[in-house]
Amino acid sequence: METVPVSTLGAVQGCSVRSNPDKVTEPKKSGNNRPKTGEVVKLTEHQHRLLKTLFKTNIAMRRELQKDECEKVSRKHDALQNLTWKKIKNTVHNWIMAEKRKTKRY
């Protein structure tokens, strides 16, 4: 078997050879330096049932919620205090869209 110098081995196999293997470099960051906008909040079973019962007419009529409706419900029920109005609105919106998909005819 023929020995190949390290410098040509890297070029042949398409990998780079470091001059200092002990030095650890940080991975390059992408151009996206925006901060994380929010964390995922998963609904508990109680919150899920409560929202379904409170907004069952909205879901059946396929009527989207307004900001003030979401905030009013959040203030009234202690179980929904940790949810933002957008989380409530988007959850109900997703249920409405699921109902639309179920009844869609081809």
Per-residue pLDDT tens digits of the chain, which is 106 residues long: 666 565 554 555 555 555 666 666 665 555 555 556 777 889 999 999 999 999 999 999 999 999 999 999 999 999 999 999 999 999 999 999 999 998 886 6
pTM of the model: 0.62
Distance CA 6, CA 76 (A): 71
- Give me the pLDDT at residue 40, please: 83
Provide the phi-psi class of 64: left if phi over 0, else alpha when psi is between -120 and 50, else beta: beta
- Give me the pLDDT at residue 66, please: 96
